[in-house]
Amino acid sequence: MPDDDALPRSDTDEIGDLNTPAIVTIASFMMMGAGLFTATAGGQLWSLVSVYTLWAKALPWLMLASGLFSMFVGGTMSRGRFWAALAAVPLTGSMTMLCLVWTVWALFGGFFSLLPLVAGFMSFAALLICPFAIPGAKRVTENRAKLFE
């Protein structure tokens, strides 16, 4: 085997790895799945449940909006974008809280649906793994920025 120091060096050797790490990909797909369940739960609640308080009318819309935005952020995070990895943590936290609040409030009213409960658990699982994706996404973003220097 030839010595590595004897081989010619290219400019790309200094840039680093541009591949998205596995933890970032896993976290992004978990986030997209949680967003899909949350948006579907929000749509289900909006279309099937009649409530009379203002905050309970707003909750399904917030679930729908945060679920759709979560799918966008998760898709962007799968490409190793640092801002998306940073946005993922508070977004999954808010989706977890929205689903938890709705599930508890609905249970006290005698209504139960598995979809918001599953969405809450999926959001919580994404919340646990998304902070571990931040360093990998930051490294990919920094390496990608070196291409344009």
135 confidence band (pLDDT: 50, 70, 90): very high
How far apart CA 83 and CA 36 sit, in angstroms, is 21
Task: Quote the pLDDT of residue 4.
Answer: 54
Task: Identify the pLDDT of residue 49.
Answer: 74
The residue ranking higher by pLDDT, 1 or 131, is 131
pLDDT tens per residue across span 2-24: 555 555 555 555 566 778 889 99
Q: What angle do CA 91, 122, 140 make, to 5 degrees?
A: 55
pLDDT at 12 (0 to 100): 53
Report yes or no on whether pTM surpasses 0.95: no
Quick one: pLDDT at residue 123? 94
Among the residue ranges 28-32, 37-41, 48-52, 112-116, the one predicted with the least confidence is: 48-52
108-130 tens-digit pLDDT: 877 788 888 899 999 999 999 99
State the DSSP H helix or E strand holding residue 135, giving kind and residue range, or none if neither.
Answer: helix 134-146
Report the pLDDT value the prediction gives residue 89, as an integer from 0 to 100.
95
- The more confident residue out of 68 and 111 is 68
Asked if residues 37 and 118 have their Cβ atoms less than 8 Å apart, the reply is yes
The CA-CA-CA angle for residues 143, 145, 149, to 5°, reads 115
Q: What per-residue confidence (pLDDT) applies to 54?
A: 77
Specify the length of the chain in residues.
149
Domain edges within the chain: 39-144
Cβ atoms 140, 27 nearer than 8 A: no
